[in-house]
Structure 1
Amino acid sequence: MSIKQIGQAIKNYDSILIHRHVRPDPDAYGSQAGLAELIKASFPNKTVKITGEEDPSLSFLAEMENVEDEEYSNSLVIVCDTANQSRIDDQRYQNGSMLVKIDHHPLVDEYGDIQWVNTEASSASEMIYQLYKELLDQGFVMNEKAARLLYAGIVGDTGRFLFPSTTETTLHFAAELVGYSFDRPLLYNELYKTSERLAKLKGYILQNFTVHEEGYSTFRLSAETLKKFNVTSTETSQLVGILGDIEGVLAWAFFVEEEDTIRVRLRSKGPVVNDIAANHKGGGHPLAAGAQASGWEETEQIVSELKMACLSFDKA
């Protein structure tokens, strides 16, 4: 079984390097750093590092570490929460002695000497906690640091347990994690605090959105708009869910203009959107996906596909 194989691989290597996807979210950080803390607590003599580009908005969870090229030699590399090899942050992941993939997204790329993909899991963080539970007999130990990170990842990817991906198992694991001594109110405050700049952009979006009769809504955030509100493309990810609260909206998309591409963020309350993303250099979950458009013309094609997805969705 993959979990037992992963446990044995962790025990076999003295050096372990853990990666996750670019443009990280709380689950990417939570699963990556949570696994690192779990291994450190279980096997204090091992060297465990996490790598990737630093995201200042998530530094309250963990800080990335410097990994030299030579450290990959004779190291186990684990990639968390990443379906596409091209989206793995720090492409040196291929340079280790052994590679493990742990992911909850629909399968895109098969990679790794060991692959554990569970699309029924709410998050990669939930999978890491499952790994811990099933490896208790192999000396794996949970502590407050790991519990805090895994809980943050689960909360982030379930939208505070509101998304359909939340299962009985998710809630059971979360209940066990909150039994560890970490500051939950502070964690929630850090996860969901909104800057004044973002709050003003949120107000602009809510004043200017449109809902089409087919049940879809789209919103363009041009480079000019981002400059006006002094908000980065990365920061806009915190606002992607707001149109989901609007009556009549089944699925929606944000188009965010970047230097050389248009970032597409797709969300849904029913219609499948990850196949739309797959048509435009992206992917993700059936109800939450991301893609790229080469220009505004391509976004019109995405709008057409989103419209068709809503029209074909059985609302009964």
Structure 2
Amino acid sequence: MKRQIIDTIEKYEKIILHRHVRPDPDAYGSQIGLKELIQLNYPSKKVFATGTHDETLNFLAHPDEVSDEDFQDALIIVTDTANTERIDDDRYKLGSYIVKIDHHPNDDAYGDLLWVNTEASSVSEMICELFEEAKNYKQWKMDASIARLLFAGIVGDTGRFMFQSTTKQTMDFAGELLTYGFDSTNLFNGMYEVERNLLQLKGYVYANFEMDETGVGHIKLTKEILQKYQVDQSEASLLVSALADVKGMKCWVFFIEDSSEIRVRLRSKGPVINGIAKKYGGGGHPLASGAAVKTWEEAALVIEDLKKL
């Protein structure tokens, strides 16, 4: 499969990479890391990374401006995106051929060529695996900029190597990426330093979360709360792991309200929660998933489903 992807990349002179909406470090790491990897090894090709930029990822990278004309006869590669509804920039349909590279459950098997590995910690780790194959198969090279992007993606999706998805292979790839000599301290600062108002909201979360006797926790971040702390929904989502250190917490949910819906961010230390996410129109990993509901009454049903679980 990896060689098929490499051969397909070689066939096309225009390549456009997509990832999911509301990107995280693995979305940028895998998408833009692969973009730069292709560009480095095939400098004559036109390679773009598309999608709406998230200001919280300014420290990492920025996507490109891509015209409709660029999509004509282009190869489309979509990374870290389980289903078509979550692909950022629906112009992917204008391309000539679609490759899907992902580590989420393959519920939506879109694309002409699919490489899905649910055992991988991140798609950035999968791009490292692709590079290892291409290095031997086609003598690909990597540089510090690419290594930095892929390292950020791995770190982000493993919770700094604390999640169960972290394997020996994950650590081996991370160690290999560090040999390229990028400034890892500066990268960690970009990933984990936060503005004072977001830290104050984190204090609000610690002071106001609820947890029942079954080990189910939740916190409701209403529009009024977000406005009080001058934090937007994307920034608030960065706090979803804040309750991981609570003793006795088995699984928890963040409800983050915006103008049209209430985002549901589910996390777990053991119980498989992506089935609940799917019930409410979302999805994700067994221990980290997301969905959305329309009302606080519906949000209460999510909590009840977690308790039953």
TM range (shorter): over 0.9
Whole-Å Cα distance in 2 between the matches of residues 277 and 226 of structure 1?
A: 23
Amino acid at match of 1:123: S
1:43 aligns with 2:42: yes
Amino acid at match of 2:197: R
Gaps of 5+ in 1: 310-316
Whole-Å Cα distance in 2 between the matches of residues 16 and 62 of structure 1?
A: 18
**Residues 264 and 290 of structure 2 are in contact (CA less than 8 Å); yes or no, is this contact kept in structure 1?**
yes
**Residues 83 and 110 of structure 2 are in contact (CA less than 8 Å); yes or no, is this contact kept in structure 1?**
no
In structure 2, the residue matched to 1:73 is 72
In structure 2, the residue matched to 1:86 is 85
**Residues 237 and 256 of structure 2 are in contact (CA less than 8 Å); yes or no, is this contact kept in structure 1?**
no
Amino acid at match of 2:154: I
In structure 2, the residue matched to 1:294 is 294
Amino acid at match of 1:195: E
Amino acid at match of 1:14: E
Aligned CA-pair RMSD: 0.7
1:135 aligns with 2:134: yes
Whole-Å Cα distance in 2 between the matches of residues 145 and 94 of structure 1?
A: 30
Partner secondary structure for residue 100 of structure 2: strand
Whole-Å Cα distance in 2 between the matches of residues 159 and 98 of structure 1?
A: 33
In structure 2, the residue matched to 1:118 is 117
Whole-Å Cα distance in 1 between the matches of residues 203 and 58 of structure 2?
A: 26
Q: Deviations over 1:213-259 (max 9, x none)?
A: 00110110000111011100110111000111101100000001111
1:139 Cα offset (Å): 3.0
Q: Deviations over 1:27-52 (max 9, x none)?
A: 00000010011111111111111000
1:142 Cα offset (Å): 1.2
In structure 2, the residue matched to 1:53 is 52
In structure 2, the residue matched to 1:313 is none
Q: Deviations over 1:131-168 (max 9, x none)?
A: 00011121321111111100000000000000000001
Q: Deviations over 1:85-118 (max 9, x none)?
A: 1000000111111100000011121111100000
Whole-Å Cα distance in 1 between the matches of residues 140 and 112 of structure 2?
A: 22
In structure 2, the residue matched to 1:263 is 263
1:277 aligns with 2:277: yes
Amino acid at match of 1:153: G
Gaps of 5+ in 2: none
Whole-Å Cα distance in 2 between the matches of residues 97 and 210 of structure 1?
A: 50
In structure 2, the residue matched to 1:312 is none
Amino acid at match of 2:303: V
Amino acid at match of 2:147: A
1:123 Cα offset (Å): 0.1
In structure 1, the residue matched to 2:20 is 21
Amino acid at match of 1:177: L
Q: Following superposition of structure 1 onto structure 2, how do residues 177-192 of structure 1 map, counting pairs within 5 Å?
A: 177-192=177-192
1:74 Cα offset (Å): 1.1
Partner secondary structure for residue 127 of structure 2: helix
How many residue pairs get matched? 308
1:275 Cα offset (Å): 0.3
In structure 2, the residue matched to 1:64 is 63
Amino acid at match of 2:167: T
In structure 1, the residue matched to 2:247 is 247
Partner secondary structure for residue 135 of structure 1: helix
Amino acid at match of 2:217: S
**Residues 210 and 217 of structure 2 are in contact (CA less than 8 Å); yes or no, is this contact kept in structure 1?**
yes
Partner secondary structure for residue 247 of structure 2: coil
In structure 1, the residue matched to 2:144 is 144
In structure 2, the residue matched to 1:158 is 158
Partner secondary structure for residue 173 of structure 1: helix
In structure 1, the residue matched to 2:193 is 193
**Percent of aligned positions that are identical:** 52
Amino acid at match of 2:243: L
1:209 Cα offset (Å): 1.5
Q: TM-score, normalised on structure 2?
A: 0.99
In structure 1, the residue matched to 2:208 is 208
Structure 1 runs (4+) greater than 6 angstroms displaced: none
In structure 1, the residue matched to 2:223 is 223
Amino acid at match of 2:171: L
**Residues 151 and 174 of structure 2 are in contact (CA less than 8 Å); yes or no, is this contact kept in structure 1?**
yes
Amino acid at match of 2:233: S
Whole-Å Cα distance in 2 between the matches of residues 283 and 210 of structure 1?
A: 24
Whole-Å Cα distance in 2 between the matches of residues 209 and 96 of structure 1?
A: 46
Whole-Å Cα distance in 1 between the matches of residues 241 and 88 of structure 2?
A: 24
Whole-Å Cα distance in 2 between the matches of residues 108 and 62 of structure 1?
A: 29
